[in-house]
Structure 1
Amino acid sequence: MQFTDSAGGYGSEPSEKQVRYAQQLAQRSGLALPQDALLDRERCSAFIEEALGKSAPSARQIAFAESLAATKNEPLPAAVRSSAKAISEYIDQNQHLATPAAGGRSYGGGGSSLRSSASDSLLPTDKQLLYAATLARQKQVGLSYEQLSDRAEISRFIDEMSGKGGANDGAYNPANYKANVAANVAGLAAGMGSSAFGAVAGAAMASSRGGDGSPLDDQMLSRAERGGERGAELDAEMDDLFGPSTQAEGEEDTPLFREGQIPF
């Protein structure tokens, strides 16, 4: 489809995926999405490039980039850690250094998403990553790349840090997830837009691993518990964040902030 205007016209229309990705980046970066970016593929691509430079990388991107930096015996540069575009370029330049411990996973499409020959259902959800990052910060422990890239491993970590384990060792139960995460996440979410959660998770990972990311505010994290938010009110708040808890036992949990491969 072609769009035209009195100034000489637009080019071909951007794809639906491209528009959605531009909208997500606009929320993450705080940039206004211009109308012409919704009508012209080239202008949409230009906006995406600009927004990537001002967006924070995801938790998975930071974890993978740190594993690559470790193989080079060097810290991950601060400039790389703070920019989705810079970290994508760093990953593209160094992903040949990925070790077998990474489970054969690599970043593709400009480093914007974690890819694997296995199904994405084996990867942790963003809600799991956020909760694990919070626990790691509270317990002053690190998170390995294997934990960040495997749902069973991150579930086992969450259970261990939550004082659980036993018969359901490593099992992630969507039906019980809200009760487990509410006290730690509700206060954080109350002070932030949901589009900022990916950046918060990345900062928490960096802090727990001894990086230079900003630590989470413990007072903010415990606000829900200190304020006595319980029962129906907290459930309603969690529903606003994650949607109603309608999953049956063993049903797939839908990621909240799925990082999609650049769709063009």
Structure 2
Amino acid sequence: MFEIPKLKHTTSGNFFLMAGPCAIEGEEMALQIAERLVSLSDKLQVPLIFKGSYRKANRSRLDSFTGIGDEKALRILQKVGQEFDLPTVTDIHETEEAAMAAEFVDVLQIPAFLCRQTDLLVAAANTGKVVNVKKGQFLSGEAMRFAVDKIRQSGNDKVILTDRGNSFGYSDLVVDFRNLPEMQSNNVPVVMDVTHSLQQPNQSSGVTGGKPALIETIAKAAIAVGADGLFIETHPQPSIAKSDGANMLPLDQLEDLLTKLIRIRQAIR
């Protein structure tokens, strides 16, 4: 895999982990989660990238939480990275956000619904940062080669692809694990977004639902198939999280899950 700045424990043979809260809710919460994640990363030798959205642009309702302010949230992400010597990732939504966010984080993430937006992919590529593209819920893994091509042809070969399930009916998602090896055929690291793949979007209330009880199932299957990394949103109290609490993993359950997944990784290697 290409080098990700500040990524540690890369010689352990373990999968890497993108983890953190859905959205940056405040500095104290972000630092609390990061401290626990770093502790687990060091203990279990799992390479870690801290994840947090500085703004949530894709919300069902106008009154949904979207963020605490772009610059404020980005500076919190920057502080997390500096204080724990840790790479960070956040998602961007429009072309002008790429250069702005690149000043604060190490990895720029393209949301699934925007994975075909050429100008956005090119803007992210032009920053020189690692670009993590989430596979659209409406695409096959094979089709993601075009997103990879757009970034590489813009002069950036630091690409990660992430699966987050496929739309199934109007209010559910399913995971087709064929997508992982199909995306790996592009010679890029492939991540399984465990928590978002368990969303139940478009609920009548306007608040996305989820099936967090299946987090372990999806994560185990992804590692068994050979995923290079996992994306897991986690929070000390998902029930009061300001975004996507319905499908997040409680922070105190993460160590047990990672321990089981490491055993699977060792078995398949």
Structure with higher RCO (Cα < 8 A, 6+ apart): 1
Per the shorter chain, which TM-score range?
A: under 0.3
Greater C-alpha Rg:
1
Structure with the higher strand share, 1 or 2: 2
Give the TM-score of the pair, scaled to structure 1.
0.24
